[in-house]
Structure 1
């Protein structure tokens, strides 16, 4: 078939589609290339989009590693406060003091760190990849401003979407992490060994006791936390980033790049915004994932309320917010630095 015939065929098909279907429907249907040149350009654009998503995946993984290294001690304190019996700890500082006294600085504050370190790379990578994919979906299904920027509500929707694929990774790794963190606070009798020797042993025993369902316990609670949490997370980051971006005093348009200090501040604020609305759900998730036997979300909620009313849903709230600032500042700083490094290497 000749080039002119191909062009005529492609144009004819596009014209028939436009004539037969409403404009709103036609806009959602992929355009058929009408020439070899156009086909090559679309293929090049597809490759470029795929490369951009791979970069988001890699940058998110590096940002996640930064978050774990900086934030794990704060997370350990939060989980131990959430799951300990009343009176075991008097404050967050008391958790730190007793943990270090028992196991030393490294093991005391980084108990259970192996699970998030192994899982955090794909976890954050999938989150930032899902966020980019969510933005693509929002752009294809809603009206975008002429400058191409999404509204904060649209950013929030894309952020919520990012939590859906991430939950498949987050739930089992967090289950392992909190079990090891809670095990570290248990007082052992002389000669008694911990029930679990490490992350792999936790997975093995959980699977033996209850199969895949036991390993993934808390998935619904994890999604209930991470969906709205991620929506607030990315929306807050984008909002603050836009406010801090230098603007031309005359036109009001962005006139410069955001500094790394501003990125750090925006990331820190995003972490705080994420935790405030979802912390009670996180408490339920931690209890659910560390409880012995068969438990339900409803049973955990009722038990917490009986034990201490609404306050029972907020133990460790201070350490969570304290962790959110440096950990999420490190996350977005790591993501930005990774993007800059890849841009220098590949562009």
Structure 2
């Protein structure tokens, strides 16, 4: 039964509940649970919640637009990387040889953009979730360390937020990567006269995979994808923020930031971030590509042993040149697209 104070004075009741929570719970927990004790406080908290929600929506939109920019710029490089990673020894002599043979066989558009439909369809939610997850990860880090919402984070804290961004993203990335690499590899196999490709397109890949092995087959390589994207995203966002900070104009006397970062500097930071992401995780990406394109039941351990037996440590790095060549322009385009999207939304919605 409600006490008289709770029915007649909601503010007093909220104050009493807050005191009980503070006394009963550890300070680290109690500080995060608080009931508004006045109409003004409730209004302020509602306004803050709406603002935080709007910021997350903007992160989703900006990330999606940045992802489309990345695919348009980087897909040909990615196609070359995957074909080098999955081709039998001797099929291609170099990255240039992949490009030459792909164009000769299928023309410029189909030769260099085979399998592009899957990443184009998936890239908007994929990158949107990545940048949303990164912003959410930063909020979690600030909450964990009791930092102010606008407090700057250390490189280690940024890395933790970046790693977190890969967790929700993997649910989207893994199946789309599976479809993409299957279509990319299919494009390198010569067909007999009158023979049709095994898969007619992205939706046909999903249909056949599901028919043969259910959801598990569609999501094959999810663990390898997370093993790649977790540390890769940590390095990605940490490098981006570090380069941005280094390029930010500063007052020569105080050392404080004295101006906004130019779009050229954002582009350069994005390019550096892309390279930083690929260097530590490329061998994992090779294993993932092999795992997702292999026929029958395969395991990560089996793929690793097979690669090492075939070519030692070098077998884990085919296509690293095209991957790094793609990383700079594609991720420069990503962050430039994200920044331009944010600027457009700020101008439109304030």
Post-superposition CA distance 1:93-138 (Å, at most 9, x none): 0000000011110000000000000000000000000101111111
Cα distance, 1:4–1:150 mapped onto 2, change above 3 Å: farther
Which residue, 17, 38, 48 being the options, matches 1:13? Answer: 17
TM-score by length of 2: 0.96
**SS of the residue aligned with 2:9?**
helix
Query: 2:313 matched to which residue of 1?
Result: 310
Cα distance, 1:240–1:145 mapped onto 2, change above 3 Å: farther
Correspondences of 1:267-346 after superposition (within 5 Å): 267-346=270-349
Correspondences of 1:127-276 after superposition (within 5 Å): 127-144=130-147, 148-276=151-279
Contact 1:3 1:35 in 2 (8 A): no
Distance 1:147 1:60 in 2: 21
Query: 1:24 matched to which residue of 2?
Result: 28
What RMSD over aligned residues (CA atoms) do the two structures have, in Å? 1.5
How far 1:253 moved relative to its partner?
1.1
Q: Which runs of 5+ in 1 are unaligned?
A: none
Post-superposition CA distance 1:29-61 (Å, at most 9, x none): 322100011001100100000000000000000
**SS of the residue aligned with 2:92?**
coil
**SS of the residue aligned with 2:326?**
helix
Contact 1:68 1:117 in 2 (8 A): yes
Distance 2:187 2:224 in 1: 24
Cα distance, 1:52–1:147 mapped onto 2, change above 3 Å: closer
Q: Which runs of 5+ in 2 are unaligned?
A: none
Post-superposition CA distance 1:204-231 (Å, at most 9, x none): 0001111100000000000000000000
How far 1:147 moved relative to its partner?
6.4
**SS of the residue aligned with 2:106?**
helix
TM-score by length of 1: 0.97
Distance 1:145 1:162 in 2: 21
Contact 1:111 1:184 in 2 (8 A): yes
Contact 2:174 2:221 in 1 (8 A): yes
How far 1:22 moved relative to its partner?
3.9
Q: Is 2:62 the counterpart of 1:59?
A: yes
Contact 1:268 1:329 in 2 (8 A): yes
Distance 2:58 2:98 in 1: 39
Distance 1:105 1:14 in 2: 66
Contact 1:3 1:36 in 2 (8 A): no
Distance 1:346 1:150 in 2: 27
Distance 1:54 1:145 in 2: 21
Runs of 4+ in 1 over 6 A off after TM superposition: 1-4
